[in-house]
Amino acid sequence: MSRKKRGQVWVETVTYTLVALVMIGLILAFAKPKIEEMRDKVLIEQSLGMIKDIDQTIFEVGEDTAGNKRKLEITIKKGLLEIDGENNTITFAIESKNQYSEPGQIYVEGNLRILTTEKGKYNEVTMVRNYTGEYDILYKNENATKIITSASNQYNFFITNNGGSSKQINIEIE
């Protein structure tokens, strides 16, 4: 009789363990996407703050005298930052599970235009600051385009007022 009881205890133990593992798996299946979406929402909000910091620094430098230079430390955890000297824009794009705004509709926040585009199970959130009519944005004193990718270390942005009739703002990155 004791052998039957021992066998039954082992069967019950294995059964309970399997049930517990299945329940943990189900919880993770539902919780993980929500956690990723919340993490992406935080990254988007941090990126929005970063673009606003760049914009504020450009404004402060542009309103000062020619030759004024400021250093700005930027960390890009996810996404791409584009400095477009030809079109006088600064654009940040991030692929996210979070839907920041209504897909296909341009959302305006201050001087930024934000567009969310659906791409399968992900969304691409694009933030654009256009300086046309305000400043002539340059990258390394040229009307060039520079794409900055995510990295674990900080980027040092040097934003300089070159002066001139078109209020040239030069951006260099180290």
Residue with tokens 């674990």: 152
Whether residue 165 has pLDDT greater than 80:
no
User: What is residue 13's predicted lDDT score, i.e. its pLDDT?
Assistant: 86
Between the alpha carbon of residue 138 and those of residues 32, 58, 113, 166, the distances in Å are: 42, 12, 21, 11
pTM above 0.85, yes or no: no
Name the band, by pLDDT with cuts 50, 70 and 90, for residue 20.
very high
What is the tens place of the pLDDT at every residue in 107-164?
999 889 999 999 888 899 999 999 998 899 999 999 999 999 998 899 999 999 988 7
User: What is residue 66's predicted lDDT score, i.e. its pLDDT?
Assistant: 84
CA distance 143 to 168: 10
Name the band, by pLDDT with cuts 50, 70 and 90, for residue 19.
very high
| Structural domain of 69 | 2-173
Whether residue 1 has pLDDT greater than 70:
no
Q: What's the total number of domains in the chain?
A: 1
Whether residue 57 has pLDDT greater than 80:
yes
